[in-house]
């Protein structure tokens, strides 16, 4: 048995078994990424789809996903590769690509406007070793690297990627511990600490999905955007007002089909609330 250090769960994983995320295993007494190089999704996407609105706008990026996730969002849009029963059966069906092979694909895609590689779709940090190894090679070949993450990771994981990630979009899914704990199976304090550090390392944008009846009050958005506005850079300067926030509309999906899609006017109203503190607020799925 070995203990995983990726997130707050600190799973004690028996030999030959997987941790909670479904992507990390104990092998010869050590925790390893079972999903290393096992690719379930590969697409050349507009950078705005990540979403990143203020990082090389108008460009495209080769987006890659594997399987596994350390949250349990009941409305997951990518549940087939994240934490559903289907996702846990993907290991032997996923295409295996080495970091070198993925970088070669990305270089070929430069002819179509590609600027690099985005690790996305499932939670990339449950397989952070593949991100590290691929990003290092990508940088050596002049490619940029993007991380789309739920931010549920220990700061040691973020430090291991230091200098290798050029931009992140991090989900700040709400701003109450109840929502994170009871609905998402996560830890708000860990995500906040991750964001604080990420802002000091690279270009960072944030996304909040507005779920009816869960995180849709003006008070919560005012608290969330106010906290963002006070974030500082590596030199201690307050830069939070310049951090882009994407306020996104929920649609019923997966295990959460008991409520309608978020009212568009509510999304727009909450975006206006966020603009009381933040300069760059975007609405999504509207």
**pLDDT of 190-234, one tens digit each?**
999 999 999 999 999 999 999 999 999 999 999 999 999 999 999
**Does residue 170 lie in a domain region?**
yes
How many other CB atoms are found less than 10 A from the CB of residue 266?
16
What is the Cα–Cα distance from 97 to 164, expressed in whole angstroms?
19
**Does residue 128 lie in a domain region?**
yes
**Does residue 186 lie in a domain region?**
yes
Q: Are 129 and 119 in contact (CB under 8 A)?
A: no
**Does residue 24 lie in a domain region?**
no
Residue 73 pLDDT > 80, yes or no? Answer: yes
- Over residues 249-258, the mean pLDDT reads 96
Q: Is 230 exposed, middle or buried (0-12, 13-18, 19+ CB in 10 A)?
A: exposed
What is the Cα–Cα distance from 215 to 219, expressed in whole angstroms?
9
Integer angstrom CA distances of residue 71 from 13, 64, 106, 191: 17, 19, 29, 12
Q: What is the pLDDT of residue 42?
A: 97
Placement of tokens 């379930």 in the chain: 40
Backbone phi and psi for residue 130, each to the nearest 5 degrees, phi listed first: -70, -40
CATH number, domain with residue 139: 3.20.20.70
Residue 16 pLDDT grade (very low, low, confident, very high; cuts 50, 70, 90): very high
What is the Cα–Cα distance from 249 to 166, expressed in whole angstroms?
27
Q: What percent of the chain has pLDDT over 70?
A: 100
- Over residues 112-120, the mean pLDDT reads 98
**Does residue 99 lie in a domain region?**
yes
**Does residue 109 lie in a domain region?**
yes
The number of domains in the chain is 1
Sign of the Cα torsion 209, 214, 217, 222 reads negative
**pLDDT of 144-172, one tens digit each?**
999 999 999 999 999 999 899 999 999 99
DSSP 97-131: --HHHHHHHHHHGGGGTEEEEEE-SS-GGGGHHHH
Residue 89 pLDDT grade (very low, low, confident, very high; cuts 50, 70, 90): confident
Beta strand residue intervals within 2-125, DSSP E: 2-3, 12-13, 24-27, 30-33, 38-39, 41-46, 60-65, 95-96, 114-119
What is the span of the domain harbouring residue 269? 40-284
**Does residue 10 lie in a domain region?**
no
- Over residues 52-80, the mean pLDDT reads 96
**Does residue 31 lie in a domain region?**
no
């Amino acid at each position: 048995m070995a203990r995983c250090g990726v997130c707050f769960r600190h799973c004690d994983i028996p030999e030959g078994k997987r941790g909670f995320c479904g992507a990390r295993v104990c092998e010869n007494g050590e925790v390893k990424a079972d999903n290393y190089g096992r690719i379930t999704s590969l697409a050349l996407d507009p950078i705005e789809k990540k979403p990143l609105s203020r990082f090389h706008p108008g460009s495209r990026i080769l987006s890659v996903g594997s399987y596994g996730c350390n949250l349990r969002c009941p409305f997951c849009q990518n549940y087939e590769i994240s934490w559903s029963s289907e996702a846990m059966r993907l290991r032997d069906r996923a295409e295996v690509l080495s970091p070198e092979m993925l970088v070669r694909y990305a270089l070929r895609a430069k002819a179509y406007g590609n600027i690099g590689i985005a690790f996305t779709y499932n939670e990339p940090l449950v397989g952070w070793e593949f991100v590290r190894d691929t990003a290092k090679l990508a940088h050596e070949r002049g490619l940029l690297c993007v991380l789309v993450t739920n931010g549920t990771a220990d700061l040691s994981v973020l430090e291991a990627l230091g200098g290798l990630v050029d931009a992140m979009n991090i989900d700040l899914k709400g701003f109450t511990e109840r929502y994170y704990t009871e609905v998402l199976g996560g830890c708000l304090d860990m995500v906040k600490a991750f964001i604080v550090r990420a802002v000091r390392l690279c270009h960072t944008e944030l996304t909040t999905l507005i779920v009816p009846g869960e995180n849709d009050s003006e008070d919560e958005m005012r608290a969330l955007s106010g906290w963002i506005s006070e974030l500082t850079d590596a030199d201690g300067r307050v830069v939070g007002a310049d951090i882009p926030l994407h306020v996104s509309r929920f649609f019923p999906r997966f295990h959460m089909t008991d409520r309608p899609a978020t009212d568009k006017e509510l999304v727009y109203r909450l975006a206006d609330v966020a603009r009381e503190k933040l300069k760059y607020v975007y609405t999504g799925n509207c």
